[in-house]
Amino acid sequence: MALADYGVQFGIKKRNLASNRDRQLQQNAYSRFLSQQRGSRSYADLDRGMTRGLEKLGSGFGRRGLRNSGIAAQGQNDYAQAWTQQRDDIAGSLTNDLRQLDMGDQNAWSDFNMGAADVDQMKAAQILQTAATLDQFKPFLGS
């Protein structure tokens, strides 16, 4: 009889399932790290650019003699709203990326658990089949 006949393949199958799960979890962890880095970089780039733009906006109104006018206030308000909207867009994108990675983690665990349950069911079926085969030999054993 080959080793497969003694249930060795079931252990190998479970180790393969665990290896696939661990590989997916590692990929998701690395992707999560990269996504967070990308989000931080996007925030920094946005803030740096918008701060420079805000300085130019204020000096532009000042050159025209409109520094304390309602037009300047409205322009600064619009600028601040655009800045906030862009920050919210970055945060939303980062949140979506992280949710997808969390879903990937859950799927990896689900796939592993379902695969392990299938392996256990196949092992139990093989044990029952072997027991049924051995039971057929009872009449020949004499007791």
> Would you state the pLDDT for residue 61?
74
The Cα–Cα gap between 36 and 112 comes to 27
Smallest CA-to-CA distance from 112 within 41, 20, 40, 6 is with 20
- Segment 6-13 mean pLDDT: 80
Boundaries of every domain in the chain: 43-105
Whether the per-residue pLDDT at 97 is higher than 90: the answer is yes
- Summarised one tens digit per residue, pLDDT across range 33-90 is 999 999 999 999 998 888 888 777 777 777 777 777 788 788 888 888 999 999 999 9
